[in-house]
Amino acid sequence: MHWNALITAVCFLTRLPVGRLASSDDQDALQRCPIYFPLVGALIGVFTVTVVALAGCFWPMWLAVVVALAAEAMFTGAFHEDAVADFFDAFGGGWTREDVLRILKDSRVGSYGVVALVGALALRGGAMAHLASRYGFEQWLLWAVPVVGSAMLGRLMIVVVMSIVPPISDRNGLSRDIGCQVGGRAMFIATLWTIPVAVFLAWLLPVGAALSAGALVVVVGCFSAYVKRRLGGITGDCLGCICYLSQIVVLLAAAAK
């Protein structure tokens, strides 16, 4: 049961061809998979850090980070990057609830989406490059742990938002496919996966970790309230967007002077 849910989470958040490892007759795997989102985030974070380290042997750190972000987008199918563009297109260009939902369904990317995605990539890449350049290979944990931690916390924030904002009942997508609001047990288990990395991050960069925690509370709280006020519920693009925004928040806090 739990194995199928883990494999489903991996299939959902990455392009790894591991679907055949799960039982095809487990219909509840999709509803249980959110508890493993932070673990998949750890997998993605380790992948990104590894690419940065390997690319850093050939190019400057800023270029190594660009290579890593491109590789990560291929690894995940640009899942969250697409959500960022869709979210800002919809909420930037839509005045009514119907407008926002209509634009969210549109596969085209407008000016709001382009600017938001470029800005998000620049902020995340800039913070990663700064951390990697500041500490270098000699102190690689000081930049690798924030990258992995941000990937885990970003996926945890998906579960957090799902636990406080219900899915839109009349719209198909991630929120409705997984079911109703995520329960307290799923939230608790998902949080457990992130505790070791969060504690390690707090030990390595106590000020950055404190800033991250405070900023995440503010960003996630404001984001959830805003989406609930505008739409009355959450969509898959909203969840993907808060994941990416949360990663940026953690990395910016870690990179702060």
Residues listed for the chain: 257
CB-CB contact of 219 with 192 (8 Å): no
Task: Render pLDDT for 216-226 as a digit per residue (tens, 0 to 9).
Answer: 999 999 999 99
* Mean predicted lDDT score pLDDT of the chain: 90
Per-residue pLDDT at 10 = 93
Region 7-30 average pLDDT:
78
Tokens at residue 20, please?
Answer: 């055949």
Per-residue pLDDT at 194 = 95
3-state DSSP assignment of residue 165? coil
Per-residue pLDDT at 62 = 94
Q: Does residue 7 surpass a pLDDT of 60?
A: yes
CB-CB contact of 128 with 65 (8 Å): yes
Q: Which residue has the tokens 């916390």?
A: 153
Sign of the alpha-carbon torsion through 50, 39, 208, 211 = positive
d(CA 134, CA 44): 23
pTM: 0.93
Q: Which residues of 17-49 are buried (b: 16+ CB within 10 A; e: fewer)?
A: eeeeebeeeeeebbebbbbbbbbbbbbbbebbb
Distances (CA, A) of 44 to 13, 25, 30, 129: 9, 27, 20, 17
Task: Render pLDDT for 105-151 as a digit per residue (tens, 0 to 9).
Answer: 888 888 999 999 999 999 999 999 999 999 987 888 889 999 999 99
Q: Which residue has the tokens 């928040």?
A: 249
